[in-house]
Structure 1
Amino acid sequence: MSEFSSQRIQVGISACLLGQEVRYDGGHKQSRFCRYELTEYFDFQPICPEMAIGMGTPRKTIRLVEDDQRIRLQASDGSIDVTESMEAFSEQQTKRLSHLSGYVVCAKSPSCGMERVSVYSPAKNNASRDGVGLFTAKLMANNPLLPVEEDGRLNDAILRENFISRVYAYHDWQCMQQSGLTVSKIMQFHSRYKYLLMAHNPERYRQLGPVVANLSENDQAGFERYIVEFMAIMKHNISRKNHCNVLQHLQGYFKKQLNSEQRQELADHIINYKKGMLPLLAPVVLLQHYLREHPNDYLSAQVYLNPHPMALRLRYSL
């Protein structure tokens, strides 16, 4: 986006990641990125499922336990079982979160972990790491379009940029949805996201074209197909190769406006980014500079050039 809405984006978060002392030992697991950087742009809605079902703090540690019927949530010493309470709360609470544009969960937690949560097997007296926290499993099942990420994975520059891009894109869609979806609006939306979608996955972007072309007014099923596929494409991490492909496409819009020296400078920036000698920000900023000198409404609308606030510095290390 060239500009961002003044409307604060609503994002859910595991309460311990904001520094709330709600963990089993009375401590927290504060994420500095969430607490001190993202709070400038997001309004966080903190939830601790374990506190919400009345477990209190400090409390006994709990874990996912495999039995014959399903995964259960029990105290490590086997003294309590909170499976039903957690499932009931999670089912009820997560159906109320359609206003959120993203969610950050606490890694490895038996209630909030998104992946690779330990699941203990009494029969084998060991644990596998293929579980999902009970709350987060319901969160993702009841809100399949919602961008969800773990705090630990946000330390990875590629995953961090991907998640924030998805949050802003989904929020963009939600704002448009609130104003009433039409074929014209979706076509404009799709046009603005052309190069960002191409960067994420060019093949799936091309496959999405016929979905847009065949939309008709009040085609709610078609609108749903579009955003489901859109968000699936956005979930793909962007490779350096795909970034270079998009940058070269954008470069082509300036071939008549730039002199030979300027064209070479831009080409060198793209090549040096491809070689890992420059961050992504370098060729993008140069493109933005030339766009200011040679305005182009279509390019100015391209979300790829500005998918999130530059102050977040998400493209400095890509």
Structure 2
Amino acid sequence: MNTQPAIGISGCLTGSAVRFDGGHKRMSFVMDGLAQWVTFKPVCPEMAIGLPVPRPALRLVQATTGDINMRFSHAPHDDVTQKMAEFTASYLPQLGNLSGFIVCAKSPSCGMERVRLYDEKGNRGRKEGIGLFTGVLLEKYPWLPVEEDGRLHDPILRENFVERVFALHELNILRANGLTRRALLDFHSRYKLQLLAHHQAGYREIGPFVASLHEWDDLDAFFIVYREKLMALLKKLASRKNHTNVLMHIQGYFRNQLTSRQRGELRDVILHYRDGLLPILAPLTLLKHYLAEYPDQYLLTQNYFSPYPENLCLRMTVN
């Protein structure tokens, strides 16, 4: 398996001139930052069904029956819904090993949310549609991290997406190497602090499920259920409060090694993070320093400290 996560992406976001007007929507973070750490699998569904560049604009039309169709804006009776459905049905089964997908916002084929709907008379409706390609993608792969370009400008959503991409990539490698009970248990153990930062109640709920692993004869069946549970938990945004609780928990591992002054300084840094005065990078850097000085076998295994390549600098902001 590729040692880098494979990410699907709407072709226009890579800088390819595939949009209906002959332009593109190149994302600098994606192509200048993330690109060195992942392998992109670009696709333009509209070109894939045979449409040219440039081409007439498409829109989503909601029929009186409630069905959503894709039609040309200038020729509302020219329908390409079936072509898009056929392409999607043939293309998506090839994506089982992807670790994420970045789609183009507002697109009638790729938009993830709030795509404008029109009625059959051409009247503008609400922004509550989903692109036809992305809608099926979300349904077929509910565990897959999917984000659209606009939302990735939000630093919190950006970090969450990248974190999930690398978690799913590790899961994909685990499966490709051959599932064992020990490997599954070790994986979950490495993610304990990370899950606590995302959702404490969810962490407590998934624990008994993992503990039941010995009852499963079919490890792949267990993996499929576990993958969906894990990715759903990681999709919940980690809160400052939960991060603070995790940082305080980690601090406790050094209570016998640090002086009272060092413990006080560490506590102050964590509380300054809690109060929004410092980015999470500050307490994490200090904790990693103490971990190097006073190694703890459990903490050394925790993915929480490095859930993705540090060069992406996603923890530089206050979050």
TM-score (norm 1): 0.96
Distance in structure 2 (CA, Å) of the matches to 1:75 and 1:46: 24
Q: Mapping of 1:113-262 within 5 angstroms?
A: 113-122=111-120, 125-216=123-214, 217-262=217-262
Q: 2:58 aligns with which of 44, 58, 62?
A: 62
Runs of 4+ residues over 3 Å off in structure 1: none
Counterpart amino acid of residue 277 in structure 2? M
For residue 79 of structure 1, report the CA deviation from its aligned partner. 4.7
Pair 1:23 & 2:19 matched: yes
Distance in structure 2 (CA, Å) of the matches to 1:249 and 1:309: 24
Distance in structure 1 (CA, Å) of the matches to 2:316 and 2:269: 14
Instruction: Provide the residue aligned with 1:50 in structure 2.
Output: 46
Distance in structure 2 (CA, Å) of the matches to 1:26 and 1:223: 43
CA contact 1:8–1:43 (8 Å) conserved in 2: yes
For residue 6 of structure 1, report the CA deviation from its aligned partner. 8.3
Output one character per residue of 1:150-192: Cα deviation in whole Å (capped at 9) or x when no partner: 1111110110000000000000100001111122211111110
CA contact 1:94–1:143 (8 Å) conserved in 2: no
What is the SS of the residue equivalent to 1:115?
A: coil
Distance in structure 1 (CA, Å) of the matches to 2:221 and 2:38: 30
For residue 232 of structure 1, report the CA deviation from its aligned partner. 0.5
CA contact 2:9–2:42 (8 Å) conserved in 1: yes
For residue 35 of structure 1, report the CA deviation from its aligned partner. 1.0
Output one character per residue of 1:96-129: Cα deviation in whole Å (capped at 9) or x when no partner: 1112111100001000001111111236923111
How many percent of aligned residue pairs carry the same amino acid? 48
Output one character per residue of 1:62-108: Cα deviation in whole Å (capped at 9) or x when no partner: 01000115100000121521100001101110111112111100001
Consecutive unaligned residues in structure 2, runs of 5 or more: none
Distance in structure 2 (CA, Å) of the matches to 1:248 and 1:146: 31
Pair 1:74 & 2:109 matched: no
CA gap of 1:248–1:41, structure 2 versus 1, over 3 A, is same
CA contact 1:61–1:76 (8 Å) conserved in 2: yes
Distance in structure 2 (CA, Å) of the matches to 1:84 and 1:311: 43
Q: 2:86 aligns with which of 70, 88, 103?
A: 88
Consecutive unaligned residues in structure 1, runs of 5 or more: none
Distance in structure 1 (CA, Å) of the matches to 2:84 and 2:2: 36
What is the SS of the residue equivalent to 1:118?
A: strand
Distance in structure 2 (CA, Å) of the matches to 1:16 and 1:163: 19
Instruction: Provide the residue aligned with 1:100 in structure 2.
Output: 98
What is the SS of the residue equivalent to 1:90?
A: helix
CA contact 2:116–2:124 (8 Å) conserved in 1: no
What is the SS of the residue equivalent to 1:95?
A: helix
CA contact 2:115–2:127 (8 Å) conserved in 1: yes
Deviates more, 1:155-164 or 1:225-234: 225-234
Distance in structure 2 (CA, Å) of the matches to 1:220 and 1:31: 37
Distance in structure 2 (CA, Å) of the matches to 1:6 and 1:44: 12
Instruction: Provide the residue aligned with 2:33 in structure 1.
Output: 37
CA gap of 1:118–1:208, structure 2 versus 1, over 3 A, is same
Please tell me the root mean square deviation across aligned C-alpha atoms, in Å: 1.4
CA gap of 1:140–1:308, structure 2 versus 1, over 3 A, is same
Counterpart amino acid of residue 266 in structure 1? L
Instruction: Provide the residue aligned with 1:315 in structure 2.
Output: 315
Q: Which has the higher contact order (CA 8 A, sep 6+)?
A: 1
CA contact 2:179–2:219 (8 Å) conserved in 1: no
Distance in structure 2 (CA, Å) of the matches to 1:210 and 1:220: 18
Instruction: Provide the residue aligned with 2:306 in structure 1.
Output: 306
